[in-house]
């Protein structure tokens, strides 16, 4: 793999930190050393994983001569917040289509990312019912904008196509380099598995380097089997793109669906415990929709002894804390 061949905008400012979670590890019994990769500290308004992907997506948009971007997400979407943020920086118009996955949950006056959409001057915001064909909705809008003389570029949900996932191939390489420099070997990596670009990119980057580090993906919406198929398919396409065809094996794709709870974005006891534990032991903010549930999985798996053969486990913190402020009731 030679990622230097693939165009990107240069949104990163060097590697994000890898920090030890000493207090947190002690709170879990001290058998395993947990570490955290701080992608919540990536540049872009509010930070988070989408910046790595959008670095590549916007490069493609610029190459195509776009002056407008369209994307989609849930009503508190971090991906929409970061796409809008980078569009502002690039001087492009940004249009968002939001899926109301939990009926009646869209509140135009809600805090969190919803507030930031308006603060950063989103050009248009369309809310559609849960289960809508988001791709078709985005295309409809793109056609309308093209007819009006704009040059729109559609970024898929979560920027999870091979272009966006390349950002997490690069992240896997970054982790390997940092671990080398720290003389540290990670025995296991825990990542979120949502629109799948993060998980697929990490798997591709590790496999393309023959790293031999197992990865556990923690689901935030889908069933295990469905999610694993989506991750594998995207990893195969991503591996083709970055020059490592066939690198990722189906066996290496492992997802847990036990921590989703009643559904996407719906709070769980485990999520609340995880958000509170990271805040009180490490002063690190997780989020209610993604990283809180992923860490709930990490905590439960640790208690079950899943990591007992590991010395060092790395948790990928993909950001999302701006959404915390839309979930205050869950924490009262």
Ligand X SMILES: *Cc1c(COP(=O)(O)O)cnc(C)c1O
Total binding residues toward ligand X, as defined by CB under 6 A: 20
Nearer to ligand X, 113 or 150 (CB): 113
Neighbouring CB atoms inside 10 A of 223's CB total 11
To the nearest whole angstrom, how small is the minimum distance from the Cβ of residue 129 to ligand X?
Answer: 21
Q: CB nearer to ligand X: give 68 or 160.
A: 160
Q: Which is nearer to ligand X, 186 or 290 (CB)?
A: 290
Dihedral angle of Cα 253, 303, 316, 18, to the nearest 10 degrees: -130
Is 158 one of the binding residues for ligand X (CB under 6 A)? Answer: yes
167 near ligand X (CB under 6 A):
no
* Nearest alpha-carbon partner for 165 in 203, 120, 198: 198
CB of 285 to ligand X, least distance (A): 11
State in angstroms the smallest separation of the CB of 82 from ligand X: 8
Q: Smallest gap, in angstroms, from Cβ of residue 319 to ligand X?
A: 4
Would you please indicate which residues are annotated as catalytic (active-site) residues? 77
Nearer to ligand X, 114 or 160 (CB): 160
Q: Is 205 in the site for ligand X (CB under 6 A)?
A: no
Residue 22 or 100 having the CB closest to ligand X: 100
- Rounded to whole angstroms, the Cα distance separating 265 from 75 reads 10
By the rule CB under 6 A, 319 interacts with ligand X = yes
Cβ proximity of 323 and 288 under 8 Å: yes
Does position 208 interact with ligand X (CB under 6 A)? The reply is no
| Residue 89 Cα distances to 84, 142, 179, 331, angstroms | 9, 21, 32, 34
- Bridge-partner residues for 74, per DSSP? 99
Nearest by Cα to 254 from 274, 229, 233: 229
Per CB under 6 A, does 161 bind ligand X?
no
Nearer to ligand X, 153 or 264 (CB): 264
Q: Is 290 in the site for ligand X (CB under 6 A)?
A: yes
Rounded distance between C-alpha atoms, residue 245 and residue 124, angstroms = 39
| Residue 48 found at the interface with ligand X (CB under 6 A) | yes
Minimum CB separation of residue 111 from ligand X in Å reads 16
DSSP track, 202-260:
HHHHHHHTT----EEEEESSS-HHHHHHHHHHHHHHHHHHHT-TT-S-GGG--EE-TT-
Q: Residue 166, SS3?
A: helix
- The single residue among 138, 318, 322, 327 that binds ligand X, judged by CB under 6 A, is 318
Say if residues 99 and 156 touch (Cβ distance below 8 Å).
Answer: no
DSSP tag of 16: P
Contact status: 195 vs ligand X (CB under 6 A): yes
Site for ligand X, residues 64 to 103, rule: CB under 6 A: 78-79
Taking Cα atoms as reference points, which of 188, 184, 225, 224 lies closest to residue 206? 188
Question: Please, what is the minimum distance in Å from the beta carbon of residue 33 to ligand X?
Answer: 23
Coil, strand or helix: which one is 112?
Answer: coil
Binding-site member from 44, 46, 152, 192 for ligand X (CB under 6 A): 192
Which region among 190-198, 206-214, 254-262, 305-313 touches ligand X (by CB under 6 A)?
190-198
- The residues of the shown chain that bind ligand X, judged by CB under 6 A, are 48-49, 78-79, 158, 160, 192-199, 287, 290-291, 318-320
């Amino acid at each position: 793999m030679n990622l230097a061949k693939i165009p990107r905008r240069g949104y990163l400012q060097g590697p994000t930190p890898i920090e030890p979670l000493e207090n947190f590890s002690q709170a879990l019994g001290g058998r395993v050393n947990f570490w955290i990769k701080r992608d919540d500290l990536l540049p872009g308004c509010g930070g988070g994983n989408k910046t790595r992907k959008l670095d590549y997506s916007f490069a493609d948009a610029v190459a195509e001569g776009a002056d407008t971007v369209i994307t989609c997400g849930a009503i508190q979407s971090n991906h929409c917040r970061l796409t809008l943020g980078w569009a502002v920086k690039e001087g492009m118009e940004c249009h968002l289509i939001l899926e109301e996955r939990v009926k009646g949950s869209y509140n135009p006056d809600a805090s969190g990312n919803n507030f930031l959409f308006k603060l950063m001057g989103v050009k248009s915001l369309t809310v559609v019912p849960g289960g809508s064909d988001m791709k078709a909705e985005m295309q409809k809008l793109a056609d309308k904008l093209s007819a009006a003389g704009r040059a729109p570029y559609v970024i898929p949900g979560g920027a999870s196509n091979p272009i966006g996932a390349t950002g997490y191939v690069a992240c896997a390489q970054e982790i390997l380099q940092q671990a080398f420099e720290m003389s540290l070997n990670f025995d296991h990596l825990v990542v979120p598995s949502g629109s799948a670009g993060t998980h697929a990119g990490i798997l591709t980057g590790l496999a393309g380097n023959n790293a031999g580090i197992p990865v556990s993906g923690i689901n935030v919406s889908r069933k295990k089997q469905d999610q694993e198929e989506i991750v594998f398919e995207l990893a195969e396409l991503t591996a083709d793109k970055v020059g490592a065809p066939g690198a990722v094996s189906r066996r290496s794709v492992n997802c847990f669906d036990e921590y989703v709870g009643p559904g996407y974005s719906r709070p769980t006891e485990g999520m609340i415990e995880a958000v509170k534990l990271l805040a009180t032991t490490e002063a690190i903010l997780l989020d209610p929709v993604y990283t809180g549930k992923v860490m709930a999985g990490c905590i439960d798996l640790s208690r079950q002894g899943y990591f007992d053969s590991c010395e060092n486990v790395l948790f990928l913190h993909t950001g999302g804390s701006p959404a915390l402020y839309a979930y205050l009731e869950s924490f009262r």
